[in-house]
């Protein structure tokens, strides 16, 4: 197992079903299925060069506070023409009324 930092890879339900079939039943994947899954994984292995800058800006936002709203060092970044979304963790207590 690698000791590299973990990341999120978002698979569609169909992609997860393909992986599950392959891993549980050993069903061979077609060339198209293999290509689909490899392309999805490659997207996450080849982050945009600006991702660290977006994460740094997100970590400095006023509402980001330890234990309340946090940005991981390797948070997923989704870049658009006008900016980017950066994945954050938001703390929610067991008793929302607390």
pLDDT, tens digit, for every residue of 46-77? Answer: 777 888 999 999 999 999 999 999 998 888 88
Residue 36, domain extent: 13-45
Domain count, the chain: 2
Looking at residue 2, its pLDDT comes to 47
In a domain, 77, yes or no: yes
Alpha-carbon distance 94 to 71, whole Å? 21
Whether residues 60 and 85 fall in one domain: yes
Range 22-31 average pLDDT: 85
Does 25 have pLDDT greater than 80? yes
In a domain, 83, yes or no: yes
In a domain, 29, yes or no: yes
Whether residues 61 and 83 fall in one domain: yes
More confident residue, 97 or 61: 61
What pTM was estimated for this model as a whole? 0.61
């Amino acid at each position: 197992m690698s000791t590299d930092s973990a990341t999120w890879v978002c698979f569609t339900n169909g992609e997860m079903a393909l992986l599950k079939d392959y891993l549980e039943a050993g069903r061979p994947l077609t060339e198209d299925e293999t290509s689909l899954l490899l392309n999805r994984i490659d997207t996450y292995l080849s982050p945009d060069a600006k991702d660290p800058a977006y994460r740094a800006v997100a970590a400095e936002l006023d509402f980001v506070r330890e234990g309340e709203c946090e940005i991981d060092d390797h948070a997923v970044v989704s870049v658009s023409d006008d900016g980017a979304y950066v994945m954050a963790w938001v703390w929610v207590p067991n008793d929302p009324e607390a």
